[in-house]
Structures are given as C-alpha cells and as structure tokens.
Amino acid sequence: MDANTGPQGPDPVRPVLEGPDIARVLTRIAHEIVERAKGADDVVLLGIPTRGVHLAQRLAAKLEEITGRGIPVGSLDITMYRDDLRLRPARALGPTDIPADGVDGRLVVLVDDVLFSGRTIRAALDALGDIGRPRAVQLAVLVDRGHRELPIRADYVGKNLPTSLRETVKVQLAEEDGRDAVLLGVHGTAPARER
C-alpha cells in the first residue's frame, strides 16, 4: 500500500503541503513582496486570526532576512465585519494589533491561510478601512482553493489548489497544531476547522 491508501481504499484526508513545502512557499512569497514593493520600505503585514497571524509573523522574519530590517507585523480581527454573524453561533473576538506607526500611507499586505469565497477578505477590507487609509492593500495566502463568490484575488499565493465544493482544506501550523501541513479531505472526513 502507498502512503495515501488504507485498508478501505484512498485515505479521506491527504497532505498536499508539508513543513518544508510551506517554508519554501513563504520564502518565495517574501521575495515576491520585496520585488513588487521595491524593497519593502513601507510594507506592513496584517495577519487574519488565527493562522494568518502566524503566517504573517513568519513572512516578517523572512522579509527581515532579505531586507536586513524589521517589517511591522500585526493582526486584524474581522469577527464583527463578517456577513455570516447571524447565521453562525457566537464566536470570540480575536486580537487586533496594529503596529505603532499605523497603516496610513503604507502598503498593507493582508495575510491569511486559505482563500475560498473571498468573504473573509471582504470583511478584512472593511475592518482595515475603520483603522486607517493605506496607500495600497495586497493579499498573501498560503492556499487559494478557488470558488470565489466575490471579485477578490490574491497577489501572492503559496499554492493554487483546485478543489470541489465537497472537499475541505485544513491548514495546520506548528504554533497552533504542533506541525505544519496543508490537508485536503472530503466533507465528513476532514479534521475540524475546515475552509
């Protein structure tokens, strides 16, 4: 049997990225940000809780390795800006932590783990508008799984992962889950927290 086959046939959940793959794509995204921002002098990274914050912190470390200077990094809670608040159970607010110099006139790169319908990013844009007026806003995601419901696209993508609507994508990061992986599953078989 190969690694993706169990006694009943193919495993319902399979890894599509492992730790070294995630490290490589974050390095590539960091280089792309530096290239497009012409040095990243005015870049601010804002992660969308929970895993987007960890990815933003990792990207900031890689950008510092490349540029030799610290990159402001923070988090942007979007809970109260979601359009599904009345459809889902109450959820706890996440942290919003804006770097001391703020976002006005800066290039803000929003960072999230999975881009799916685009509704999370729309909520993030609304939340960001209440905080300040960036010069520009870009989006970096670890995985773009398609199925957009809004006209939103990522500027930086770790992996394009075409999926069906019955499939699930779960990102695991060492800071939250004890390991780095991106898992693809089928509804009803994927671990909790699917996108």
Q: Which residue has the tokens 């009803």?
A: 188
In whole angstroms, how far apart are CA 77 and each of 39, 80, 178, 194? 27, 8, 23, 19
- How confident is the model over 154-169, as pLDDT tens digits? 999 999 999 999 999 9
Chain-centroid distance, C-alpha 42: 20
Using the predicted structure, report yes or no on whether residue 89 has a pLDDT greater than 50.
yes
Calculate mean pLDDT across residues 33-52: 96
pTM given for the model:
0.88
Q: Is residue 190 part of a domain?
A: no
Torsional class of 178: left (φ above 0), alpha (ψ -120 to 50), beta (otherwise): left
Mark 4-36 as b/e (b = at least 16 C-beta within 10 Å).
eeeeeeeeebebebeeebbeebbeebbeebbee
Residue 149's CATH number:
3.40.50.2020
- How confident is the model over 67-78, as pLDDT tens digits? 999 999 999 999
**Residue 65's domain spans which residues?**
20-83+95-163
Q: Is residue 181 part of a domain?
A: no
Q: How many domains does the chain have?
A: 1
Q: Is residue 7 part of a domain?
A: no
- How confident is the model over 136-145, as pLDDT tens digits? 999 999 999 9
Q: Is residue 15 part of a domain?
A: no
What is the average pLDDT value for the chain, to the nearest integer?
90
